[in-house]
Structure 1
Amino acid sequence: MTKLRIKNFGPIDKGFTGSKDGFFDVSNLTLFVGSQGAGKSTVAKLFSSLCWVEKAVLVGKKTAKEVETLTFLKNLLSYQRIESFLNDESEVEYTTDFVHIMLSHKKISFKTKNAEKYIRPQIQYLPSERNLVGIVDRFAQLPLLPDSMQDFLYVYDEVINSQEVQNSVLPIEELSIHYNRRKNKIELQSEKYTVSLNEAASGFQSAVPLFLVTKYFIDTIKKRSRELKFKNVNEQKEFEKVLDKNRAFNSFFINVVEEPEQNLFPNSQKNIIQFLLSSLNENIQNKLIITTHSPYILETINNSIYAATLQKKGFMADSLVEKQKQIDYDKVSAYVVKNGEIHSIKADDIKQIDPKEIDGCSEEINAIYSKLSDMEFSNGN
């Protein structure tokens, strides 16, 4: 189990209020909702950064001594441009079955436990700025972008040059994706037209990089797993020992996605989150961390949870929600970030995520409409 504690870091001052020690779970599927600037992306970026530190040390790319320096800490946070959030009162703890990382008083400590059982993941942060790859040429040379975005662009460049991209089908309007090597452009094809991504709608410019990068890593890991069928963890660890460090074997995927709904019509939001859930279910160790503003994302996930609950009880829920797109309630964590605090929004009594933190605005809008209607007809008009 992965747990995180955050206090006095940027917009998050009080941290998680649902436990005495301030720790909250990062499950197979973890969602963060909240208004702009509340800190949900800050949480996702901290998780991604510390997850990377865990991997870097345990696979031998960094030593514990190297990461326990103020310079490393500042560089780590500046990678996601959250270094200004660090102050003398900041406290961040990250703990898994293999490490304990503590950030306190501008110092970082790293301790290992059961490190010999660590299985390396592929870690990818999909930033909200990902739509830039569809509209900017020679993107890797843009110096003003955060380091994290520049790295994402390099990853994307590797992905679109891979064989896996050709003839992929986007789960939105079933458009075929083709990489035109001569023009060095991604093209979207339907029965009626072909359009370059840089000329496509903004929703496609956001969804295509998300889809391609996720699909690439899921397919790559799945392909490698089929080629190398290990009997147990010890056998896999022995294999990893003889690998060249530059040919790291990643066994599962940690996918951190900012706003999967970005620029998408509600039905397309449903399709993209179902794709992400299907990808998550390719491996029991996979993790999907999402920040979102969308009630459609939450309601689609709630349907997937409900379907999984009914499927366990013997109902044919997969006739409505495919089994690959279902998710067990116990594998989900969901939080709202607001007023410097993190609260769980899971409703254990009904085994659903409470959508009111996002969709409460609809109630307010409807209430105003009712009052306006009452005003019009109160005088018998």
Structure 2
Amino acid sequence: MSKIRVRNFGPIKEGLRVKDNDGWIEIKKVTLFIGNQGTGKSTLAKLISTFTWMEKALSRGDYSIAHFERISVFYELLSYHNIQTYLQGFQKIQAELFSDDVVKPPSEIDFVGESYQISVRGSRIEVAKSNRQNYHLPQIVYIPAERNLLNFTYEYRRARRVPETLIDLQVTYREIIKSINGGIIKLPINDLDITYNKNLDTLIIKGQDYMVDLLAASSGIQSIVPLFLISLYFANSVQSSSESRQPMNSEELERFKTDVAAIHSNFDLTDDQKKAALSVVAAKYNKTAFVNIVEEPEQNLFPTSQWEIIKSLLKFNNMSEGSTLVMTTHSPYIINYLTLVVKAQSVYEKLKNNKETSLYDQLSNIVPYESVVSSEQLAIYEIDSMGNVIELPDYKGLPSDENYLNQVLEKSNDYFSQLLDIEDQCR
């Protein structure tokens, strides 16, 4: 299990309190960040994506430790997610926006992965190899909140302000769409099917008695389609790799690095030949984990549809042992649904020695077994407006309902009570 510790990076100030797990945010099988907009949920998710990719590149031998210890390289990696300006201490003088007398303290970021650990202190970066053995080579996907734009075929590179994550993801998304090739994929909501029309170069949504171009469908459907298709594709791809290979051990990692280094140092090969050779080598070391990082899975979806996409994402996450699901959310329903899947997991455990199959059927109708999560595999973190990170406690193994999102609901109820009081006084 990887973990990250963050201070003084964009909206994240103190990060997780030191007294709470020494400030470490544990990246578990399922990790959820909640909080108000602009508090830093996506910032943490993007940092996890960045450091996980760095660890992957180091493990494969794509780059040396010295390469990633250059602050300019790290700055460029952050720019991929448009968070490079959050790095404090990179410039000699860095003051708060619209203020001349408040100097920002340098950023402090620590990441400990299964294969490497990375430390950032302002403009100084240190990378070291971890002592852990088995490492799951991951397929890392970051699915942003702007995913609706993936359904359009504009030339994104002309828009200079569009994040590179979206540009690269659209290329992948187009390949996934075309791989459907006339087949039909069932969406988890509204009893809908989706297919690709090659002649029109578009996705078609099929209901019971109608068909519609995806671009003419609702915003919720336009949001869930790329999320579902991308997650489904990579979950299946990684599962196939996982079934054929075990995680790379330390000896395999060293052999892989040696193979890659030999290709890079062969000056008789052209660039195209090197790329082809690297593809052959990489095929021997297939990805065995799917790191799926999703911003706001509930986006534009009715609560029941939120439940369906959460079950799907959890199912995809459970298809491979080393996979990880990281999500950000504004929706109180997401926490409630995660409470359901955790409780369902404990009930499934109790049913193992019970021969009453009808109980199993009743349970699976509520929460399918492939979508359950144990309490030990789930971490929920709340980020407040001051840039502090709080780990949400559990109650008897279930996520606590004492969280920001539920407090907002309670405040709404309080407002309604006040309205009733005012109404009574009018009589």
Amino acid paired to 2:14: K
TM-score (ref. length: structure 2): 0.83
Q: Does 1:10 align with 2:57?
A: no
Aligned to 1:175: 192
Amino acid paired to 1:171: P
Q: Which sits farther off after the overlay, 93-102 or 39-48?
A: 93-102
Matched-pair identity in %: 32
Aligned to 2:312: 275
Indicate how the Cα distance of structure 1 residues 238 and 64 shifts in structure 2: closer, same or farther if over 3 A, else same.
closer
Aligned to 1:98: 115
Q: Between Structure 1 and Structure 2, how many residues are aligned?
A: 378
1:10-31 alpha-carbon deviations (Å, 9 max, x no partner): 1111010152631120100000
1:175-198 alpha-carbon deviations (Å, 9 max, x no partner): 111111111111111121111111
Q: Does 1:244 align with 2:290?
A: no
Aligned to 2:415: 368
Indicate how the Cα distance of structure 1 residues 262 and 165 shifts in structure 2: closer, same or farther if over 3 A, else same.
farther
Aligned to 2:97: none
In the TM superposition, what are the counterparts of 1:1-381 in structure 2 within 5 Å?
1-17=1-17, 18-19=19-20, 21-88=22-89, 89-114=106-131, 117-139=134-156, 142-163=159-180, 166-226=183-243, 228=244, 237=252, 241=256, 244-245=280-281, 247=283, 249-314=286-351, 316=360, 317-338=363-384, 339-354=386-401, 356-378=403-425, 381=427
Amino acid paired to 1:299: N
Provide the aligned C-alpha RMSD in A.
Answer: 2.4
In 2: Cα distance, 1:254 partner to 1:206 partner: 20
Amino acid paired to 1:170: L
In 2: Cα distance, 1:250 partner to 1:349 partner: 36
Amino acid paired to 2:224: A
Indicate how the Cα distance of structure 1 residues 142 and 267 shifts in structure 2: closer, same or farther if over 3 A, else same.
same
TM-score (ref. length: structure 1): 0.92
Aligned to 2:272: none
Q: 3-state DSSP class of the match of 1:92?
A: strand
Residue 377 of structure 1, CA deviation:
2.6
Q: Which sits farther off after the overlay, 348-357 or 96-105?
A: 348-357
In 1: Cα distance, 2:131 partner to 2:391 partner: 30
In 2: Cα distance, 1:342 partner to 1:84 partner: 21
Indicate how the Cα distance of structure 1 residues 235 and 80 shifts in structure 2: closer, same or farther if over 3 A, else same.
closer
Unaligned runs of 5+ in 2: 90-105, 260-278, 352-358
In 2: Cα distance, 1:274 partner to 1:189 partner: 22
Equivalent residues of 1:298, 1:355 under 8 A apart:
no
Indicate how the Cα distance of structure 1 residues 92 and 365 shifts in structure 2: closer, same or farther if over 3 A, else same.
same
Residue 244 of structure 1, CA deviation:
2.2
Equivalent residues of 1:165, 1:216 under 8 A apart:
no
Unaligned runs of 5+ in 1: none
Amino acid paired to 2:210: Y
Indicate how the Cα distance of structure 1 residues 144 and 371 shifts in structure 2: closer, same or farther if over 3 A, else same.
closer
1:24-56 alpha-carbon deviations (Å, 9 max, x no partner): 201000000010100010000000000000001
Amino acid paired to 1:133: L
Q: 3-state DSSP class of the match of 1:111?
A: strand
In 1: Cα distance, 2:231 partner to 2:181 partner: 11
